[in-house]
């Protein structure tokens, strides 16, 4: 459907009201590109075998010399450039001795006894000129008794100089470049291009500059890793006691929860070298390269022990083997096998500790998780209220905050936000503050920033037709009123009919009263009722419905389907689980993609039941709105007037929540 006509009335009207079973984090909030190490590829902190920078200068010199040579060659062959008029003059004077005529140039020799005054050219010189369309030329050449001939210009000659010669030097150039970045002589593979070299970046402790103090809100994970730090700092003590230290620690958690940050903090705390490489960097086009990189990485690490090897996004290589087919898969399998070999190969107390991070533990190959490999797992969850407060405090360091900033209230309003989201929110707030030329970040800036992250940036220039605006107002008022009158729904936090983001024309945001990790059936049902409240309001007031509810319908259907297929809340299927999650276990909630795992017959029964659940929810929403018809008009007209309502304004309009539970 066309973007413009998709009139999606809200993209994610409850994005802020999520819990662990109903996390509404679609894939659009994927992992933000975390800051890479301060040592970029080829930066000054490269491991070993780095060529000095001078090879770059050598290449440059080489190119310049080549260019000069070409200039000389191309100039030398031709001679002094003269104009065609001058050529005709010389011709008339009878001093042109030879001429070679091609289709576009004339070159030749001029020879005269005496140089006339005003001509600084020598008595005898070679000339060249551009040939113009001159019918009399041949006649005049013959008359002047010139030894002339026509030359078919060899097209390959120009081609050779212009294209083929540089092409011949291209491989040479490539080798120079590869040498200058890949280190001399290649890795253990001995490849001249250094393909086999692991591209791990060595970041010594002073460079990671991250400590546990920079990681907030995951105290348990930090405590788990404390032990690793202890070991790296004074391994003898452990060895003396005969204690075996885990070889590998796997950091698990949804995107943006600080896995990469925590790994860097471990290195920073322990003050040991830190080899960091991303799983995807192992997987290359050429089979065998990844395995060579793994070998090389561990070789380097063992030489540098005690140290940390960190493989970020290990799922890129650690996916269960033998699921897909194709060359890329072969390569990945080889890499994974090599990794397993290396993991088994080094002694438990060799001083090398392997850290790895992933947000897809479900796809990892079982063999990786076997004891003796990644035998320790540290789980990072989306931060809770206290955690969010702490993360905000960490990231507020160095930012001037107005006295009215209340982190507790911000933290309460951002359930489901990851550390990265919060860091992003603070940064957005700083940008907003600077845009309005303020000297401090105010509480309002922060709230605005969060709204922007949840629902997209405001689109003040998107002008809606009056009828459309009216429809959006009723739609949102419908959501809000239904939420207000559904005892198990989260209370309304904010309503807005300012267009935002790509498709949202308005949104209603609800906030849970407190953190929630489970959802009851009644809560799920009320959530669907609220989602259908927008559509119900449109039908009730305007008689006709619109495309604006498409997103609501998708989400409500998702909930209903999950209730039946996954949560065992259906009647026709009972407790049978009849669908599999396609996505990561961290992407629960209505956005989750389910894959059918039952017979055709059951699937048909499920469809019927989902349909019945949705119909019942819609009927409930309609009933609530019919009873609240005047309030619906009131809220909608106030919205049209003010564009947005916060919790207090809304409550003042509709009265205290009847059955606040």
Residue with Cβ nearer ligand ADP (279 or 506): 279
String of contacts with Mg ion for each residue 249-268, x by CB under 5 A = -----------x--------
Kindly give, in sequence order, each residue whose CB lies less than 8 Å from that of residue 234, ignoring residues fewer than 6 positions away.
none
Q: Determine whether 299 is an active site residue.
A: no
DSSP-assigned beta bridge partners for residue 323: none
- Site membership for ligand ADP, residue 218 (CB under 6 A): yes
Reported in sequence order, the residue ranges of 346-473 that DSSP labels E, i.e. its strands, are 352-358, 376-379
In contact, 9 and 470? CB cutoff 8 Å: no
Q: Which does 506 bind (CB under 5 to 8 A by kind): Mg ion, Zn ion, ligand ADP, none?
A: none
Q: Which does 258 bind (CB under 5 to 8 A by kind): Mg ion, ligand ADP, Zn ion, none?
A: ligand ADP
For residue 257, the minimal CB distance to ligand ADP (Å) is: 5
Q: Which does 534 bind (CB under 5 to 8 A by kind): Mg ion, ligand ADP, Zn ion, none?
A: Zn ion
The per-residue DSSP string of 200-239 comes to PEEE-HHHH---GGG--S-HHHHHHHHHHHHHHH-HHHHH
Instruction: Return d(Cα 268, Cα 262) in angstroms, integer.
Output: 10
Q: Which does 552 bind (CB under 5 to 8 A by kind): ligand ADP, Mg ion, Zn ion, none?
A: Zn ion
Nearest to 333 by CA among 290, 363, 285: 290
Instruction: Return d(Cα 41, Cα 187) in angstroms, integer.
Output: 16
In contact, 110 and 127? CB cutoff 8 Å: yes
Number of Cβ within 10 Å of residue 338's Cβ equals 21
71: which 2 tokens? 């200039």
For residue 210, the minimal CB distance to ligand ADP (Å) is: 9
Per CB under 5 A, the list member of 433, 552, 590, 645 interacting with Zn ion is 552
String of contacts with Zn ion for each residue 468-507, x by CB under 5 A = ----------------------------------------
Q: Which residue is nearest to Mg ion (CB)?
A: 260
- Site membership for Zn ion, residue 306 (CB under 5 A): no
Instruction: Return d(Cα 39, Cα 56) in angstroms, integer.
Output: 19
- Site membership for Mg ion, residue 562 (CB under 5 A): no
For residue 357, the minimal CB distance to Mg ion (Å) is: 6
Per CB under 6 A, the list member of 423, 430, 441, 610 interacting with ligand ADP is 423
358: which 2 tokens? 């992933």
What number of chain residues touch ligand ADP (CB under 6 A)? 21
Span near ligand ADP by CB under 6 A; candidates 2-10, 30-38, 302-310, 491-499 = 30-38
Per CB under 6 A, the list member of 182, 187, 248, 258 interacting with ligand ADP is 258
What is the SS3 assignment for 66-91?
HHHHHHHHHHHCCCEECCHHHHHHHH
Span near ligand ADP by CB under 6 A; candidates 58-66, 211-219, 520-528, 542-550 = 211-219
Residue with Cβ nearer Mg ion (260 or 304): 260
Per CB under 6 A, the list member of 228, 261, 355, 541 interacting with ligand ADP is 261
- Site membership for ligand ADP, residue 216 (CB under 6 A): yes
Span near ligand ADP by CB under 6 A; candidates 62-70, 250-258, 435-443, 639-647 = 250-258
559: which 2 tokens? 């909930």
What is the SS3 assignment for 101-117?
ECCCEEEEEEECCCCCC
In contact, 426 and 410? CB cutoff 8 Å: no
Span near ligand ADP by CB under 6 A; candidates 199-207, 212-220, 428-436, 620-628 = 212-220
572-to-187, 577, 603 alpha-carbon distances in Å:
62, 12, 10
For residue 423, the minimal CB distance to ligand ADP (Å) is: 4
Span near ligand ADP by CB under 6 A; candidates 228-236, 251-259, 427-435, 529-537 = 251-259
DSSP-assigned beta bridge partners for residue 373: none
Instruction: Return d(Cα 561, Cα 47) in angstroms, integer.
Output: 53
Span near ligand ADP by CB under 6 A; candidates 321-329, 416-424, 523-531, 551-559 = 416-424
Return the residue matching tokens 């004891």: 371
Per CB under 5 A, the list member of 187, 534, 558, 570 interacting with Zn ion is 534
For residue 374, the minimal CB distance to ligand ADP (Å) is: 16
Where b means 16+ CB within 10 Å and e means fewer, 63-92 reads eeeeeeeeeeeeeeeebeebeeebbbebbe
Span near Mg ion by CB under 5 A; candidates 27-35, 129-137, 226-234, 424-432 = 27-35
**Is residue 223 exposed (0-12), middle (13-18) or buried (19+ Cβ within 10 Å)?**
exposed
Residue with Cβ nearer ligand ADP (353 or 356): 356
Residue with Cβ nearer Zn ion (8 or 19): 8
For residue 639, the minimal CB distance to Mg ion (Å) is: 41
String of contacts with Mg ion for each residue 34-53, x by CB under 5 A = x-------------------
- Site membership for Zn ion, residue 9 (CB under 5 A): yes
Per CB under 6 A, the list member of 245, 353, 420, 559 interacting with ligand ADP is 420
- Site membership for Mg ion, residue 349 (CB under 5 A): no
Q: Which long-range contacts (CB under 8 A, 24 or more apart) does 640-649 make?
A: 640/469, 640/470, 640/473, 640/497, 643/496, 643/497, 643/498, 644/494, 644/495, 644/496, 644/497, 644/498, 645/480, 645/494, 645/495, 645/496, 646/493, 646/494, 647/491, 647/492, 647/493, 647/494
Phi-psi region of 476 (alpha: psi -120 to 50; beta: other; left: phi over 0): alpha
Length of the chain: 661
- Site membership for ligand ADP, residue 279 (CB under 6 A): no
> Measured in whole angstroms, how far is the alpha carbon of residue 348 from the centre of its chain?
36
Active-site option among 451, 476, 523, 538:
476
Return the residue matching tokens 């000095």: 52
Per CB under 6 A, the list member of 253, 290, 351, 416 interacting with ligand ADP is 253
Span near ligand ADP by CB under 6 A; candidates 94-102, 406-414, 418-426, 521-529 = 418-426
For residue 13, the minimal CB distance to Zn ion (Å) is: 6
In contact, 340 and 368? CB cutoff 8 Å: yes
Contacts of ligand ADP in 330-359 (CB under 6 A): 357
In the complex, the residues that contact ligand ADP under the rule CB under 6 A are 31, 34-35, 215-218, 253, 255-261, 357, 391, 394, 419-420, 423
In the complex, the residues that contact Zn ion under the rule CB under 5 A are 9-10, 534, 552
> Active-site positions?
476
In the complex, the residues that contact Mg ion under the rule CB under 5 A are 34, 260
């Amino acid at each position: 459907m066309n973007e413009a006509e998709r009139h999606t009335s809200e993209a994610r009207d409850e994005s802020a009201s999520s819990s662990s079973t109903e996390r509404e984090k679609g894939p659009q909030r994927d992992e933000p590109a975390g800051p890479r190490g301060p040592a970029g590829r080829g930066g000054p902190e490269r491991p070993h075998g780095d060529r000095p920078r001078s090879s770059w200068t050598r290449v440059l010199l080489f190119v310049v010399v080549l260019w000069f040579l070409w200039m000389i060659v191309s100039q030398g062959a031709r001679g002094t450039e003269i104009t065609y008029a001058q050529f005709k003059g010389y011709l008339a004077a009878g001093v042109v001795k030879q001429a070679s005529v091609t289709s576009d140039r004339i070159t030749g020799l001029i020879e005269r006894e005496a140089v006339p005054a005003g001509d600084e050219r020598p008595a005898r010189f070679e000339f060249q000129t551009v040939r113009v369309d001159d019918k009399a030329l041949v006649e005049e050449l013959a008359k002047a008794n010139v030894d002339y001939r026509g030359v078919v210009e060899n097209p390959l000659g120009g081609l050779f100089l212009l294209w083929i010669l540089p092409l011949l030097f291209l491989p040479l150039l490539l080798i120079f470049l590869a040498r200058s970045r890949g280190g001399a002589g290649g890795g253990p593979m001995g490849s001249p291009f250094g393909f086999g070299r692991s591209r791990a970046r060595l970041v010594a402790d002073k460079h990671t500059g991250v400590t546990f103090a920079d990681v907030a809100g995951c105290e348990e994970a930090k405590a788990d890793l404390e032990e690793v730090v202890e070991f790296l700092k004074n391994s003898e003590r452990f060895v003396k006691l005969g204690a075996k230290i885990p070889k590998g620690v796997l950091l698990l958690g949804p995107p943006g929860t600080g896995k990469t940050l925590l790994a860097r903090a471990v290195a920073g705390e322990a003050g040991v070298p830190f080899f960091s490489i991303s799983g995807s960097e192992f997987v290359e086009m050429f089979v065998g390269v990844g395995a060579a990189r793994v070998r090389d990485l561990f070789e380097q690490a063992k030489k540098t022990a005690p140290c940390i090897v960190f493989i970020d996004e290990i799922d890129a290589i650690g996916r269960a083997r033998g699921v897909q087919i194709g060359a890329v898969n072969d390569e990945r399998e080889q890499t994974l096998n090599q990794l397993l070999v290396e993991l088994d190969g080094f002694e438990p107390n060799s001083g090398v500790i392997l850290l790895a991070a992933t947000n897809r533990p479900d796809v990892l190959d079982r063999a990786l998780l076997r004891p003796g490999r990644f035998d320790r797992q540290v789980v990072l969850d989306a931060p809770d209220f206290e955690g969010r407060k702490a993360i905000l405090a960490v990231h507020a360091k160095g930012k001037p905050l107005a006295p009215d900033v209340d982190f507790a209230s911000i933290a309460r309003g951002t359930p489901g936000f990851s550390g990265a989201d919060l860091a992003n929110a603070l940064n957005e707030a700083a940008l907003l503050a600077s845009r309005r030329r303020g000297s401090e970040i105010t509480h309002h800036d922060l709230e605005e920033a969060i709204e922007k992250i949840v629902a997209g940036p405001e689109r003040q220039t998107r002008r809606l037709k009056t009828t459309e605006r009216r429809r959006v107002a009723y739609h949102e008022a419908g959501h809000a009123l239904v939420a207000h009158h559904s005892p198990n729904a989260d209370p309304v936090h904010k309503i807005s009919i300012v267009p935002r983001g790509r498709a949202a024309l308005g949104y209603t945001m609800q906030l849970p009263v407190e953190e929630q990790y489970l959802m009851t059936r009644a809560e799920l049902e009320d959530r669907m009722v609220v989602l259908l409240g927008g559509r119900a309001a449109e039908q009730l007031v305007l008689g006709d419905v619109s495309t604006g509810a498409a997103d609501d319908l998708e989400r409500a259907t998702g909930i209903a389907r999950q209730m039946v297929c996954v949560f065992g809340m259906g009647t026709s299927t009972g407790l049978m689980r009849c669908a599999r999650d396609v996505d990561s276990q961290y992407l629960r909630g209505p956005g989750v993609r389910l894959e059918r795992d039952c017979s055709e017959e059951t699937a048909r029964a499920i469809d019927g039941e989902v349909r019945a659940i949705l119909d019942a929810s819609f009927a409930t929403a309609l009933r609530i709105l019919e009873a609240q018809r005047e309030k619906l008009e009131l809220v909608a007209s106030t919205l049209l007037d003010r564009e947005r309502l916060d919790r207090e304004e809304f409550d003042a309009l509709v009265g205290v929540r009847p059955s606040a539970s």
